[in-house]
């Protein structure tokens, strides 16, 4: 069937095949007994030639999971940016879809319809666009159709590879599945895959299998308040996005833009089935063809990652259980005593009065003293972040509560009238409706009033799945009866099935909590309603995203600074305003290992500012685990130590070995701050993750496709941590090239013709970090805060690679460099700004961008910079003081800067293959060309 489909479509870029598939519906219906699918009855061409609008009619259905919708509307469009869009909904009635306010995009109902076309317009039964647009003809993807039952396939034009194929197969065969099913509360669609496919994505969950999706598993998307130390069950966020890699490393992406709960069955190596509780089919296909290109195209749609303030890249200290300000002061003093850089200290719910948002405990966190403490932090260039939970205590003396009622921004009880009541830390609460048009104004007012009490620097959004200590739609409480156990339900809940609506008890049960528990388990009832009548049944998975966006907008207005928002529950597009942490992990070696997959997945989903709680949150940690975890955590994009009140403290100063190891690791993190910040700029502009799986950079090397115990920072720093107790060596993979140990450049790995595995020594105080040849890594000096560190002189770490490895450089005007066997090249860049703009833009007097490139031809070296908007760097007085060149053992001579002889201190360490040019003092804001030659022999050090 697949061959017939492709052959039919070879005549045009947009076709509908008919006659050969009439018998398929009956066969598949017999297999699954759910539906015979839909038949296309007519097609309208879009007036701009970008696609079609088709009408679909039910062939026959079943009562399983409810009656089938009779008529559907299908819109398919070629879109900019290598994107294909297929949208299927009820032909006559509006159904729930993700709000435009969360992810702005072209709405399918806004397209203009052109002429009506017949299905049998040609003898072959193929429909050809009569007004084919330039976009459609030049698009890297094409779409093909069958009419009876309706199915579609997405095909890559360059090689005819079928990327997504909903055509049912033969009865009894491995490819057999239902045609498309569309019921009010159950949607199903499947795609066939090649054998031994490599799929990634579909989160969030903790995955012992690693980053690659595992055959035989069901991936459930349902935001859940459960510790991330639990494996293979849905966690806090929902990301219906996946990436696939096929032969030659070619990648493509699929986004199913649907916020309803869903199961995605990956039951065999060649079949993926989406089973959804409502909404519409809204698919976006991204052509790729590299993994980085897929993420670029995906984030172009859902939103580029937010710009993060520079200080957020420092080390953060937190704990649930700092019971008063004395403890905060003591913790910061102990860190200062060991000279460890702490950028910020965080306050969990301990600071609240009766756990109410925007309040301070009058005895433990009195207003005046807390303000003095925070002001003291600010005087030392340190920060203070507080937690916010969405539940608002029902209390007539609580101004936040009464103002929210005045704004009418609480969720409504969908069954009994009035506001919906939940129970969380403060007791009985109302739940804000962050989709309400008044919500941002109310939320901004509350944050503004709190900011007057405590000049916080960022906000931490917890419990925003939203969590609820009670489970069930029919829960009641007696205000006269006190609730003495704050984290257990104090309400009376009647969850008898006879008292449940079809929303809280839908006909199909997704695999929530790994055991098909009710949707309302520990969250808001599915019948609770927003201001416009939409139900939590549809919006549950985007609640955290809506709160994150409201918080981001409020902070931008209140502080007039770049906001920092850390959110537990996210959705696709959340990265445009929020950072994320992997939630309540465990202090176990397994959790340390899982953290890497979780980080890499978050970057894949477009939320690159991500970290895991260092040393673990739940359970008692130990010295060895904390030592190893601090090594890894120093290279997380977001680096924070956080622990639970029921576990012992785990600050880095508690063990001498941890102190020494973490101090060394974080020394390098702070030196690498300009590198991290430039990666954030890259993420903000292209969606590229900060922490990347190896296959993102080396997709053509299929050995990298299953590696998830190592990660890359950008394209050039490889982190290979120890993840097992008692381990003093690590087996690491090195893709083709030369890799220099960042801490000891005398140790290098040569993977000349192909990637290799190496056993590396890793004593307890060492983590293996390597720099890829061909890179220029910007660094600055170490300092105790990011504010001080970013004022220090720059060092450029340069390592050359064969120029032929850099195709973009081998183009004119530098193509001559790629000729011959002894020509090498390196590149890098630096982005710096004043941290005040909401976006990371290269603008006059606010930011400077520097492109760096180096060329070696025989013994002749050239390092040059190209500067965009130099004023900011010049105003800051930033200079490049040192150039460190790896792979050099010969003495340089004739050193010139901008064609003038330079006075420089030169050090050559032949054993380390390292040459250093010190004392350069090149202004970052001025373009320069540094030229030198090397001699075969000479002294190891001298000045010129």
Cα(95)–Cα(543) distance, rounded to whole angstroms?
18
Taking each helix axis as running N to C, give the angle between helix 367-379 and helix 325-337, from 0 to 180 degrees, rounded to the nearest 10.
Answer: 20
Q: 495 with 415: CB under 8 angstroms?
A: no
3-state secondary structure of 105: coil
- Name the catalytic one among 188, 457, 462, 835: 462
Cα(94)–Cα(186) distance, rounded to whole angstroms?
16
Cα(593)–Cα(802) distance, rounded to whole angstroms?
35
Give burial (CB, 10 Å; 0-12/13-18/19+) of 821.
exposed
Residues whose CB falls within 8 Å of the CB of residue 592, separated by 6 or more in sequence, listed in order: 616, 625, 628, 629, 632, 723
Concatenated DSSP letters of 37-82: -EEEEEEEEETTSSEEEEEEEE----STTSPBPSEEEEEEEEETTT
Cα(179)–Cα(36) distance, rounded to whole angstroms?
6
Cα(917)–Cα(944) distance, rounded to whole angstroms?
10
3-state secondary structure of 179: coil
Give burial (CB, 10 Å; 0-12/13-18/19+) of 484.
exposed
- Name the catalytic one among 584, 613, 644, 701: 584
Q: What are 92's two structure tokens?
A: 């006559």
At residue 228, φ and ψ (nearest 5 deg) are: -75, -5
Q: Other CB atoms closer than 10 Å to residue 937's CB: what's the count? A: 6
Q: What are 761's two structure tokens?
A: 């020594």
Give burial (CB, 10 Å; 0-12/13-18/19+) of 843.
middle
465 as an active site residue: the answer is: yes
Run of H or E residues at 164: strand 162-165
Q: What are 146's two structure tokens?
A: 């069958």
Nearest residue to 525 (alpha-carbon basis) of 436, 427, 392, 421: 421
**In sequence order, what are the beta bridge partners of 737?**
751
> Do the strands 71-79 and 51-58 form a parallel or antiparallel pair, or are they unpaired?
antiparallel
Place of tokens 């009647």: 494
209 as an active site residue: the answer is: no
Cα(550)–Cα(439) distance, rounded to whole angstroms?
8
624 as an active site residue: the answer is: no
3-state secondary structure of 327: helix
Nearest residue to 640 (alpha-carbon basis) of 578, 579, 551, 724: 579
In 698-817, the DSSP E strands lie at 711-713, 717-720, 729-734, 737-741, 748-751, 756-761, 768-772, 776-780, 794-799, 801-802
Alpha helices in 303-426 (DSSP H): 325-337, 367-379, 399-407
- Name the catalytic one among 457, 465, 682, 869: 465
> Do the strands 610-611 and 579-581 form a parallel or antiparallel pair, or are they unpaired?
parallel
Cα(849)–Cα(924) distance, rounded to whole angstroms?
9
Q: Give catalytic residues, as residue numbers.
A: 462, 465, 584
């Amino acid at each position: 069937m697949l061959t017939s489909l492709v052959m039919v479509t070879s005549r045009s870029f947009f076709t509908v095949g008919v006659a050969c598939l009439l018998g398929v519906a009956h066969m598949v219906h017999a297999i699954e007994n759910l539906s015979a699918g839909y038949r296309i009855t007519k097609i309208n061409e879009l007036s701009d030639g970008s696609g079609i609008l088709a009408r679909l009619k039910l062939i026959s259905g079943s009562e399983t999971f409810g009656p089938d919708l009779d008529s559907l509307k299908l819109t398919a469009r070629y879109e900019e940016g290598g994107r294909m869009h297929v949208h299927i909904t009820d032909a006559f009635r509006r159904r729930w879809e993700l709000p435009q306010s969360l992810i702005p995009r072209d709405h399918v109902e806004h397209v203009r319809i052109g002429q009506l076309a017949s299905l049998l317009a040609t003898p072959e039964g193929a429909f050809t666009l009569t007004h084919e647009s330039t976009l459609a003809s030049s698009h890297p993807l094409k779409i093909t159709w069958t009419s009876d039952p309706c199915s579609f396939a997405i095909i890559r034009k360059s090689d005819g590879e079928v990327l997504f194929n909903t055509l049912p197969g033969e009865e009894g065969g491995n490819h057999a599945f239902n045609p498309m099913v569309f019921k009010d509360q159950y949607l199903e669609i499947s795609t066939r895959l090649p054998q031994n496919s490599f799929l990634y994505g579909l989160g969030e969950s903790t995955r012992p299998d690693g980053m690659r999706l595992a055959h035989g598993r069901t991936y459930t998307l349902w935001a859940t308040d459960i510790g991330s130390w639990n494996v293979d069950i849905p966690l806090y966020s929902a990301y219906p996005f996946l990436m696939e890699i096929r032969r030659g490393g070619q990648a493509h992406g699929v986004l199913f833009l649907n916020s309803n709960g869903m199961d995605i069955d990956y039951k065999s190596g060649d079949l993926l089935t989406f089973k959804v509780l409502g909404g519409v089919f809204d698919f976006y296909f991204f052509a790729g063809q590299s993994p980085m290109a897929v993420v670029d195209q995906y984030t172009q749609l859902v939103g580029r990652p937010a710009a993060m303030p520079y200080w957020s890249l420092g080390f953060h200290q937190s704990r649930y259980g700092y019971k008063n300000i004395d403890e905060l002061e003591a913790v910061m003093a102990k860190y200062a005593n060991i000279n460890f850089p702490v950028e910020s200290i965080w306050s969990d719910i301990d600071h609240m009065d009766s756990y109410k948002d925007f309040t301070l405990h009058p005895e433990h966190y009195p207003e005046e003293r807390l303000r003095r403490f925070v002001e003291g932090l600010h005087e030392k260039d340190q920060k203070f972040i507080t937690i916010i939970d969405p539940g608002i205590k029902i209390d007539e003396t609580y101004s936040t509560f009464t103002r929210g009622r005045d704004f009418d921004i609480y969720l409504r009880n969908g069954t009994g009238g009035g506001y919906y009541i939940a129970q969380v830390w403060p007791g009985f609460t109302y739940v804000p409706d962050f989709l309400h048009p008044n919500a941002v104004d109310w939320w901004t007012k509350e944050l503004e009033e709190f900011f007057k009490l405590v000049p916080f620097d960022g906000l931490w959004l917890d419990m925003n799945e939203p969590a609820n200590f009670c489970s069930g739609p029919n829960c009641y409480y007696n205000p006269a009866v006190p609730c003495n156990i704050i984290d257990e339900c104090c309400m009376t809940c009647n969850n008898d099935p006879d008292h449940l609506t079809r929303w809280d008890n839908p006909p199909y049960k997704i695999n929530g909590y790994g055991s098909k528990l009710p949707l309302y388990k520990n969250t808001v009832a599915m019948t609770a309603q927003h201001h416009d009548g939409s139900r939590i049944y549809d919006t549950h998975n985007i609640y955290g995203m809506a709160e994150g966006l409201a918080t981001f907008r409020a902070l931008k207005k209140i502080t007039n600074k770049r906001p920092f928002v850390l959110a537990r529950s996210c959705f696709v597009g959340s990265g445009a305003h929020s950072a994320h942490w992997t939630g309540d992990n465990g202090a176990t070696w397994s959790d340390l290992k899982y953290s890497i997959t979780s980080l890499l997945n978050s970057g894949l989903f477009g939320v690159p500012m991500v970290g895991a709680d260092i040393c673990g949150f739940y359970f008692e940690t130990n010295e060895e685990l904390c030592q190893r975890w601090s090594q890894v955590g120093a290279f997380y994009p977001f680096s924070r130590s956080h622990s639970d009140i029921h576990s012992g403290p785990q600050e880095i100063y508690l063990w001498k070995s941890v102190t020494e190891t973490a101090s060394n690791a974080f020394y390098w993190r702070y030196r690498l701050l300009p590198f991290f910040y430039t990666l954030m700029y890259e993420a903000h502009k292209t969606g590229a993750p900060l922490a990347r799986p190896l296959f993102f950079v080396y997709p053509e090397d299929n050995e990298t496709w299953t590696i998830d115990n190592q990660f890359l920072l950008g394209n050039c720093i490889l982190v290979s941590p120890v993840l097992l107790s008692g381990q003093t060596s690590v087996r690491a993979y090195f893709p083709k090239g030369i890799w220099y140990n960042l801490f000891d450049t005398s140790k290098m790995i040569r993977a000349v013709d192909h990637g290799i595995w190496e056993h590396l020594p890793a004593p307890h105080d060492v983590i293996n970090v390597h720099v890829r040849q061909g890179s220029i890594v910007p660094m600055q000096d170490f300092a105790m805060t990011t504010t001080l560190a970013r004022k220090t002189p720059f060092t450029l770490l340069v390592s050359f690679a064969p120029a032929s490895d850099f195709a973009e450089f081998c183009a004119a005007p530098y193509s001559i460099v790629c000729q011959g066997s002894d020509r090498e090249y390196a590149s890098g860049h630096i982005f710096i700004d004043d941290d005040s703009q909401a976006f990371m833009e290269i603008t006059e007097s606010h930011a400077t961008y520097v492109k760096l490139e180096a060329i070696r031809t025989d013994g002749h070296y050239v390092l040059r910079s190209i500067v965009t908007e130099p004023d900011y760097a010049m105003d800051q007085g930033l200079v490049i003081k040192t150039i460190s060149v790896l792979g050099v053992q010969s003495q340089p001579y004739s050193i010139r800067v901008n064609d003038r002889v330079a006075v420089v201190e030169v050090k050559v360490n032949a054993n380390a293959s390292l040459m250093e040019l010190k004392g350069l003092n090149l202004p970052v804001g001025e373009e320069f060309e540094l030229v030198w030659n090397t001699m075969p022999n000479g002294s190891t050090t001298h000045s010129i």
